[in-house]
């Protein structure tokens, strides 16, 4: 018998909270949707940050979260589309752009983008 865990999902923007029951062998996002909870998503395969949350309490497993660096995972970020609950959880939705900036921001903003001239004419 597969254990089932209570997952509370707090939406930062609307200050609301949804509760779903998720079996340990099911993805949180898919199960929440089956229970009528609408959450942000895009790729559904762990490659982007649209469904990113911050784990406030509890433990989950996300072996396919390739869109989220190990560093951010250690800081408590998770992708619901590829996360399995290991305990009851409280998670909070995150702004996709904010998580993207945390992960990739150091690579951007290194100067102005110049358009219009071929590289050899600049």
Q: Residue 117 and residue 60: Cα distance in Å, rounded?
A: 50
Does residue 118 sit within a domain? no
The pLDDT score that the predictor gives to residue 115 is: 63
How large is the average pLDDT for residues 22-38?
97
pLDDT tens, position by position, 47-99:
989 999 999 999 999 999 998 999 999 999 999 999 999 999 999 999 888 88
Q: Would you state the pLDDT for residue 28?
A: 98
CATH number for the domain including 29?
3.10.20.30
For residue 87, give its domain range.
4-106
Cα angle, residue 38 at apex, residues 71 and 73 outer, rounded to 5°: 5
Structure tokens at 57: 């309490």
Burial of 106 (0-12, 13-18, 19+ CB in 10 A): exposed
Task: Give the total number of structural domains in the chain.
Answer: 1
Question: Would you say residue 111 lies in a domain?
Answer: no
**pLDDT value of position 54:** 97
- Domain presence at residue 18: yes
Q: Answer yes or no: is 30 within a domain.
A: yes
Is 71 inside any structural domain? Answer: yes
């Amino acid at each position: 018998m597969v254990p089932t865990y209570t997952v509370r999902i707090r939406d930062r923007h609307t200050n609301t909270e949804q509760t779903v029951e998720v079996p340990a062998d099911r993805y949180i996002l898919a199960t929440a949707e089956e229970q009528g909870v609408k959450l942000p998503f895009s790729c559904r395969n762990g490659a982007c940050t649209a469904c990113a949350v911050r784990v406030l309490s509890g433990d989950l497993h996300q072996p396919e979260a390739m869109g989220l660096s190990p560093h951010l995972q250690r800081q408590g970020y998770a992708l619901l589309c590829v996360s399995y609950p290991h305990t009851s959880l409280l998670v909070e939705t995150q702004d996709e752009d904010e998580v993207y900036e945390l992960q990739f921001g150091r690579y951007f903003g290194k100067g102005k983008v110049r358009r219009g001239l071929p590289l050899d004419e600049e």
